[in-house]
Structure 1
Amino acid sequence: MRLRMDKRILLPTDYSKNALNAIRYALELYRKVHCDFYILNAFHISSYTLDSMRVPETGEPYYEAAKQEAEAGMERLMQMVRLHPQNHKHEFHTITTFNSVTEAIRNVVDKKDIDMIIMGTKGITEFKARIFGTNTVNVMERIRECPVIAVPNNYMFEEPKEIVFPTDYKSPFKKKEMADVIELAQLFNATIHLLHIDKDKDGKLDRKEQGNKELLQEILEGVTHQMHFEPAANISDGINAFVDRHKCDMIAFLNRKHLFFGSILTNPLVKKIGYDPKVPILELNDN
């Protein structure tokens, strides 16, 4: 059965190979779906800082030069996108704007009612300060209106048939929080692997955790899913070992804003997954 749904997907780009790879991934991931793709470039002007008191205006030479460069980059990018097999279900919209990446994304998410953000990662940095580029982390932290898929460097598209969802069952779940991972699982007839990693309890849950586990099973009723317990010294080793063993094509996690005095990213589950993720990561938000 082919799913019919309309999606509005935001694809931020800095015109790098990495960003182009993420766009290609998005086109393949939603090839069966009617989509409006919004391709966004946030440009900067070297002689201005974004937090300075004075903002460059239309008509000023520095602004016009930067704008023209951004628009020329967008035209080159769209020529490459058009080399991808054409899909009548897909429409493209381009946006170039003077802004920080995160604020530009926030504006488009609000104005265009975006359903999903798909962007590339920077991979490992020389200082290993981030798993993803700083922009990707900032977007995951600050944009809570829609989920984010982060695509690793040079990742070649694979249909997400095996999706791992790490959880400690400490917080209750809501159906709308899980909607996007359920949608992808249904689109590709995938299995969602609920992975519980706990080095202290030998997989045993207290009454509250057991209740949350049962609630999650109810939410996933009708979706192929399996329950797993991974005894591991740390979360990173457990998730990565599971991904390798089960040949997982995606890691999905719920980024709870009230957890760990901020969010799961500040704790850092994502950092524990590894500095060089091998598969795309879908970040869901609580509501």
Structure 2
Amino acid sequence: MDKRILLPTDYSQNAWNAIIYAMDLYQNVRCDFYILNAFQVSGYTLDSMRVPETGEPYYEAAKQESEEAMQRVMQMIELHPRNDKHRFHTKTTLNSLTEAVKSTVAKKDIDLIVMGTKGITESKARIFGTNTVNVMEQIRECPVIAVPNGYRLGGLKEIVFPTDYRTAFKKRKMSDLVELARLWDAKINVVHIDRDRDGTLDRKEQANKELLQEILQGTDHEMHFLPADKISRGINTFIDDNGCDMVAFLNKKHLFFGSILSNPLVKKIGYDPKVPILELNDN
């Protein structure tokens, strides 16, 4: 079955950049790309008592504007070298982005979401845009890749995967990480983060480590140790020193990472994303 990838867009440069990244990342995979725009109508809010309907001038104007912008996106895609493995589908809808994404994920059996870290209205001071945070937090059915503004894929050779080994890993939850590593012959750097000790593991943690090693069999991977008091500099330094192309997180709520963006390791390490983040859900 072809891979089904959802590409939300607000027609910003960052969103366009994420579309190009997804096409490049899966250039050798048969994919159905679903490009989605959730538009709003000026003067209305989605939680108001009255929602604009088909035929009303404000609705029709907003719908036309969204559809014309989508046509421009498709024209830009056509300017890129043709890839016979890729098919594109488009949808514009009056909705909040999160609800539109949720609906599309369910109806189209989406495997992966790829989106930019910020949209056209986001403050430069904000590391992640509100829409990206909402999608990562509320969509638990599939992984999300968040692509920093201006990032272009030059290859995928080194991936960082931080963990504390305190929860059991599941093969199906790690499948997208393993798939990417095999696609690109990339190395997965498992970085053990220890808040309390010197890197020694108790029996449960050791069992989880061995389980992870079993899951990663067939990929190039290496285990590293990083003391917790150096999280802030350590992971960023690791990314820079090893020329890493992606950071993967297992987003398990209420545990070590908490919810990675609302109570995030991202904030904890002061991580201003220079490379894409693959968020894997463990729900």
TM-score computed with the length of structure 1 as normaliser: 0.93
Aligned partner (choices 73, 79, 93) of residue 77 of structure 1:
73
Show the counterpart of 1:61: 57
Partners of 2:270 and 2:82 lie apart in 1 by 35
SS in 2 for 1:85: coil
Q: Work out whether 1:285 is the aligned partner of 2:281.
A: yes
Show the counterpart of 1:208: 204
Q: Work out whether 1:111 is the aligned partner of 2:107.
A: yes
**What is the CA distance between 1:269 and its match in structure 2?**
1.2
Q: Work out whether 1:226 is the aligned partner of 2:219.
A: no
**What is the CA distance between 1:197 and its match in structure 2?**
2.1
1:269-284 aligned at under 5 Å gives the runs 269-274=265-270, 276-284=272-280
Partners of 1:33 and 1:11 lie apart in 2 by 16
Is the Cα contact below 8 Å between 2:157 and 2:244 reproduced in 1?
yes
Aligned partner (choices 231, 234, 253) of residue 235 of structure 1:
231
Partners of 1:261 and 1:244 lie apart in 2 by 22
**What is the CA distance between 1:160 and its match in structure 2?**
1.5
Aligned partner (choices 166, 172, 175) of residue 176 of structure 1:
172
Partners of 1:163 and 1:229 lie apart in 2 by 15
Partners of 1:273 and 1:94 lie apart in 2 by 37
SS in 1 for 2:229: coil
Show the counterpart of 1:145: 141
**What is the CA distance between 1:265 and its match in structure 2?**
2.9
Q: Using a 3 Å threshold, how does the CA distance of structure 1 residues 201 and 215 change in structure 2: closer, same or farther?
A: same
Is the Cα contact below 8 Å between 1:132 and 1:275 reproduced in 2?
no
Runs of 4+ with deviation above 4 angstroms:
none
TM-score computed with the length of structure 2 as normaliser: 0.94
SS in 2 for 1:170: coil
Amino acid aligned to 1:150: A
Amino acid aligned to 1:35: C
Show the counterpart of 1:93: 89
Show the counterpart of 2:263: 267
**What is the CA distance between 1:209 and its match in structure 2?**
1.0
Is the Cα contact below 8 Å between 2:160 and 2:191 reproduced in 1?
yes
Question: Number of matched residues?
Answer: 281
Q: Using a 3 Å threshold, how does the CA distance of structure 1 residues 20 and 126 change in structure 2: closer, same or farther?
A: closer
**What is the CA distance between 1:198 and its match in structure 2?**
2.2
